[in-house]
Amino acid sequence: MICLEAGRLLDAFVDNELEPADAANLQAHLASCAACRQLLADRESLGRLVRHLPYYPASDRLRAKILRISTRPRFDPSLLAWAAVLALAVALGGSVEIVRFARARHGAETTAAVADEVVGDHVRALRDAHLFDVRSSDQHTVKPWFLGKVDFSPPVEDLSSIGFPLMGGRLDHVAGQPVAALVYQRRLHPINVYIWPAVDRTAASDTRSIRGFQVRHWIRNGMSFWAVSDLNDAELGELVRALQR
């Protein structure tokens, strides 16, 4: 099981809705994957937060009004139903905001964790002189190389016409899952572009600097892209805009 599959099962696992075989496979994956264990912990934390939302009792004024209505001879039961709906709406209004805040915080923490990991991977590739599994400037050589090595087809473009020649690619791993890493060059600056299927296709684009490296993240055509380089932010942005077209 890979992290993408595990991520799709976590909610059902937290709610005890998985079949025994799926639950066993997920537990085996969690035992060896710290990233997915953290995601599980976040899901469980969110569940506890929702379960402990504050209770909003009816005010004395509302209780007295309902009591007066209930003593009338021509009582309409729908009034109590509407009062219950109103009270529930007030409670849920606060709940929705809390859930939205929790989800936004979880998304920001996940983005920060992945950004730090791709920078670490970029540094290891440079340190170990392992930027390429396939070295070629021909996109029709690099793209087919990934066939059978990942369960998706990464978009591969040669951008030599704007000063970012394709140098090759390699199979890598980010957050416990296999990803396609494409390598571009700008003068003496290598640029790693990591690609894998996006789990959250609504995730916002992200720009940050980590330990002197520029990092860009965006979603395009159902794929998650992460570009990392020691190139200056303006030139890296030029590459990103070309890949986003």
Residue where one domain finishes, among candidates 61, 86, 105: 105
Residues 90 and 159 in one domain: no
Q: Are residues 81 and 145 in the same domain?
A: no
Domain count, the chain: 2
Can you spell out the DSSP letters for 132-191? -SEE-S-HHHHHHHTBTTBSS------BGGGTB-EEEEEEEEETTEEEEEEEEEETTEEE
**Chain centroid offset of residue 27 CA:** 21
| pLDDT computed for residue 197 by the predictor | 94
Q: Domain containing 223: what range?
A: 114-244
Co-location of 233 and 156 in the same domain? yes
Residue of higher predicted confidence among 116 and 10: 116
Q: Scan for tokens 């639950």, then name that residue.
A: 23
Distance CA 159, CA 206 (A): 22
Query: Encoding tokens for residue 77?
Result: 């039961």
pTM of the model: 0.60
Tell the residue number behind the tokens 């001879």, with chain if given: 73
What digits encode the pLDDT tens for the residues 183-194?
999 999 999 999
Question: What's the pLDDT at 79?
Answer: 58
- The confidence band for 98, taking pLDDT boundaries of 50, 70 and 90, is very low
Task: Give the domain-ending residue among 105, 129, 154.
Answer: 105
Domain of residue 218, CATH code: 3.30.200.100
Tell me: do 230 and 162 sit in the same domain.
yes
Strands laid side by side in the 206-210 sheet = 134-135, 166-174, 177-186, 189-197, 223-229, 213-220, 206-210
Are 232 and 188 a contacting pair, CB within 8 Å? no
Average of pLDDT values for 80-92?
62
SS3 call for 59: coil
Average pLDDT across the chain, whole number: 83
pLDDT at 11 over 50: yes
If asked whether residues 118 and 96 sit together in one domain, one would say no
Q: For the chain, how big is the Rg over CA atoms in Å?
A: 25
| CA distance to 2, 75, 85, 87, per residue, from 65 (Å) | 58, 13, 16, 14
pLDDT(96) > 60: no
pLDDT band at residue 71 under the 50/70/90 scheme: low
Q: What is the pLDDT of residues 123-161, one digit of tens each?
A: 999 999 999 999 999 999 999 999 999 999 999 999 999
The string of pLDDT tens digits covering residues 19-57 is: 888 888 888 888 888 777 888 887 777 776 666 656 567
Examine the domain organization and report whether 45 and 121 are in the same domain: no
**Rounded distance between C-alpha atoms, residue 142 and residue 122, angstroms:** 19
Domain final residue, candidates 105, 140, 162 = 105
118 and 214 both lie in a single domain: yes
The phi and psi torsions of 108 (rounded to 5 degrees) equal -65, -40
Residue type, 142: V
Are 21 and 85 found together in one domain?
A: yes
**Pairwise CA distance, residues 195 & 224, whole Å:** 6
Please determine, for residue 173, whether its predicted confidence score (pLDDT) is greater than 80: yes
Residue 86 has pLDDT above 90, yes or no: no
- From CA 242, how far away is CA 245, in angstroms rounded? 6
